[in-house]
Amino acid sequence: MTLAEDNSGTLYIVATPIGNLGDISQRAIDTLRAVDVIACEDTRHSKKLLSAFSISGKTISLHDHNERQKQEYIGSLLASGSDVALVSDAGTPLISDPGFHLVRYCRQQGLNVSPVPGACAAISALSVAGLPTDRFAFEGFLPAKTGARQAILQGLANETRTMVFYDAPRRAIDTVQDIVTVLGESRYLVIARELTKTFETIYSNTAGEMLNWLSQDANQLKGEMVLIIEGAPEKISEITPEVERALKRLLKELPPKKACAVTADLYEVNKKALYDLTLSYK
């Protein structure tokens, strides 16, 4: 059955539940029943979901290791008028899941791509975190190794937006220890674990207290986890006469960028605002 209005088929990006099967939409069910092919991150995993809703049909695998090889095949199906649904193991496809290369290829070929919205672990966690959501940064999975993980955190030390990560619960203690080391024990965190499932847990505290909590309860080191980190405080952008005097003194001894960096650090003032001020002196 072809759902698109023209002669070519449509690639539907279909969100599936992140835990509770009741979260699937009727439109997702209808789409999965109607399409000719369902591309799954793991066909064995997805068949359990499909069976729960009495959906039968042709499934093919599409994962990180074969996506580029399968994109032309799926593109040919669409071009011939077949409809294809893409699903990940859970939640919205492409959000730290396979599908980016396929969607880009299809769009470059002028093929139809349409979303079927639904659950997303990152957005679900963010909605209950109690942290600012007007601006946030999704950073995907943190690296497994300590050095790489600390490097990522260091690069985000001055990020003022709320930051959302996926992480493996078995690494949660090491990850929070790295947050304490790099960002400080007072940085506020939220862990949302096993969302929509029986043992759903949403816990918020400072990084230091979060480390204690995880260390005392081994049950929190299981399942699926979203980690949310409060953004760094906004730097003061107002440049007072005192700050400007300090900047001018430093400019006599240091290059402009270095003088601005030192002044920004001493007075917690926005570095770009300081640099813009130095340009006005010329």
Same domain (yes/no): 102, 136: no
Specify if 2 maps to a domain: no
Pair 112, 186 in one domain:
no
Residue 220 carries which DSSP code? G
Other beta carbons within 10 angstroms of residue 238's beta carbon come to: 8
Residue 258 lies in a domain: yes
Report whether 162 contacts 132 (CB < 8 A): yes
> What is the Cα 240 distance to its own chain's centre?
38
pLDDT of residue 6: 66
Is the Cβ–Cβ distance between 112 and 105 less than 8 Å? no
Q: 23: domain range?
A: 10-119
Q: What is the pLDDT of residue 57?
A: 79
**pLDDT, tens digit (0-9, with 9 covering 90-100), for 232-264:** 987 666 788 999 999 999 999 999 999 999 998
Give residue 236's pLDDT.
65
Q: Is residue 262 part of a domain?
A: yes
Domain end marker among 119, 136, 152? 119
Rounded mean pLDDT, 71-75: 96
- Residue 101 in domain: yes
**Same structural domain for residues 153 and 224?**
yes
Task: Say whether pLDDT at 87 is over 60.
Answer: yes
* Domain CATH for 42: 3.40.1010.10
Q: Does residue 5 lie in a domain region?
A: no
Please indicate, yes or no, if residue 235 is contained in any of the structural domains.
no
Is 234 among the domain residues?
no
Domain-embedded: residue 161: yes
The total domain count for the chain is 3
- Pair (126, 114) in one structural domain: no
Identify the CA nearest to 172 among candidates 148, 195, 189.
189
